[in-house]
Structure 1
């Protein structure tokens, strides 16, 4: 849809370069851009048909202008001058388009042009998690509008209105773009419905949500519409979301193990985002369980998207921790809080006999480190009290 609307905008500007009057090229500048979801009155095909008809009308008007120009004597500011203007315009489009592209990921940075017009988001070194939007504000019917500065449009405002029949309409106005070809994208939502919207042209936009009833009406009255700004276009956001999902798919679904391709993606993510390189070991280490004592720590990293996210967010080099405890009969247990999943068979606070835990850990593609307590710290560790507390919490 963004490409279709961009084509309409380009046709209008090009037509203006050929001497077309604005009203001959575009019937009106304000265009309602709506994401399509089941139940919406206007379907995607209907919108495409409208855009196609508008482009046909522009093409006919453009042909008429070119025919008139062909009958006129060549002047310094005639058709040749218009074609030169078109060439400059397209060059400007290419420059603007490239200014919003990312730099090579191998450099670990993103391109920052337009004097840092991506003012509201910290740039990330890759596509992963770049889809996360920024909360702008909430709008309640009759509660007044809000104003803010967008990445593309310096002057942006929005309000929501509801008529006596509880039909809701969200209005967005945007002006003063920073470049000819730029766009702002927004996630406009309630807990019951949402729209992903790309705004390419300045002007006034309306999103009609129709009649609201029941809990949806109550939420609209109390909390209103939530507006989030996407860092990039809707299309780019979808791509970034898919790239992020690649860190999880195959690891949190399917069998207990982490596929090699998913592990590699997560290793690359940790290197770029957390500046942490996990070096492979030549072979699996074998630790004598008799050396392990109560209070020792077990650290875990599973390259499944979740642990690397925790590591990036917290600055840790671990995604999960557990404690070793010896039972009354001297048996060694791993005590931890876990969730039952595709790779772990037990839920909640639990203890697992060491050999059984190791078997499950291998199947789950765990990377494990054993960290014994220092002697001075071990002297302070009250093993009996720790075991009593655990037994009260164990499910």
Structure 2
């Protein structure tokens, strides 16, 4: 039995097939016109879970702790990144607050954050592993012609 995951930026669904032959996945309703337009131009991402049902369930059990907002989840994220990427994160000395003077920030300064705990920590851990990056969230500081400081952040969705 093969398990397939079908994904767009707007949804994730799955289906399983016992026999190797032609199969059809029917999407009965689009989440929005934006999803329809996306699929029309880019298609649907299809992922085969080659381990079958038991192997996939075992793998899901292994990543479940990544999404818990507990010390167990935090340790699971750190262990996952070390095992799969060789990445280590050292705890910074307290206090964990940094006081920055905005006048010291220059146009082009780059800020990098790495969330390790909680639901979004789990997503960021998997994102790091898939992309090979050590950051889950980035921002760049920019100053306009009048010297006003602006911060452009990654990860914000557009109106649709």
TM-score scaled to structure 2, two decimals? 0.59
Q: Residue 281 in 1 paired to residue 100 in 2?
A: no
In 2, the alpha carbon distance for the partners of 1:227 and 1:311 equals 18
In 1, the alpha carbon distance for the partners of 2:115 and 2:47 equals 35
Tell me if structure 1 keeps the 8 A contact 2:128–2:136.
yes
SS at match of 2:134: coil
Deviation of 1:248 (Å): 2.8
Give 1 or 2 for the bigger CA radius of gyration. Answer: 1
Report Cα offsets for 1:103-138 as digits up to 9, x if no partner: xxxxxxxxxxxxxxxxxxxxxxxxxxxxxxxxxxxx
The equivalent residue for 2:141 is 324
Q: Unpaired runs of 5+ in structure 2?
A: 8-12, 29-45
Q: Could you say if the C-alpha distance between residues 328 and 260 of structure 1 is closer, same or farther in structure 2, counting changes exceeding 3 Å?
A: farther
Q: Residue 241 in 1 paired to residue 57 in 2?
A: no
In 2, the alpha carbon distance for the partners of 1:215 and 1:348 equals 24
Tell me if structure 1 keeps the 8 A contact 2:77–2:125.
yes
In 2, the alpha carbon distance for the partners of 1:206 and 1:275 equals 37
The equivalent residue for 1:334 is 151
Tell me if structure 2 keeps the 8 A contact 1:337–1:348.
no
Deviation of 1:189 (Å): 8.8
The equivalent residue for 2:15 is 194
Report Cα offsets for 1:360-381 as digits up to 9, x if no partner: xxxxxxxxxxxxxxxxxxxxxx
In 1, the alpha carbon distance for the partners of 2:149 and 2:50 equals 50
In 2, the alpha carbon distance for the partners of 1:190 and 1:289 equals 45
Q: How does 1:171-320 map to 2 (within 5 A)?
A: 185-187=1-3, 194-195=15-16, 197=18, 228=48, 230-231=50-51, 233-250=52-69, 259-283=70-94, 284=96, 285-303=98-116, 304-320=121-137
Q: Could you say if the C-alpha distance between residues 262 and 325 of structure 1 is closer, same or farther in structure 2, counting changes exceeding 3 Å?
A: same
Deviation of 1:329 (Å): 5.2
Deviation of 1:322 (Å): 1.3
In 1, the alpha carbon distance for the partners of 2:84 and 2:6 equals 32
SS at match of 2:57: helix
Tell me if structure 2 keeps the 8 A contact 1:188–1:194.
yes
Q: Which consecutive aligned stretches of 4+ in structure 1 deviate over 6 angstroms post-superposition?
A: 188-193
Q: Unpaired runs of 5+ in structure 1?
A: 1-184, 198-204, 217-225, 251-258, 340-346, 350-395
In 1, the alpha carbon distance for the partners of 2:84 and 2:16 equals 30
Deviation of 1:273 (Å): 0.7
TM-score scaled to structure 1, two decimals? 0.27
Deviation of 1:328 (Å): 5.2
Deviation of 1:315 (Å): 2.6
Q: Could you say if the C-alpha distance between residues 227 and 291 of structure 1 is closer, same or farther in structure 2, counting changes exceeding 3 Å?
A: closer
Deviation of 1:274 (Å): 0.6
Report Cα offsets for 1:313-342 as digits up to 9, x if no partner: 333222222110124554433112333xxx
Q: Could you say if the C-alpha distance between residues 329 and 243 of structure 1 is closer, same or farther in structure 2, counting changes exceeding 3 Å?
A: same
Across the aligned residues of Structure 1 and Structure 2, the Cα RMSD in angstroms comes to: 4.0
In 2, the alpha carbon distance for the partners of 1:335 and 1:206 equals 48
Q: Could you say if the C-alpha distance between residues 229 and 317 of structure 1 is closer, same or farther in structure 2, counting changes exceeding 3 Å?
A: closer
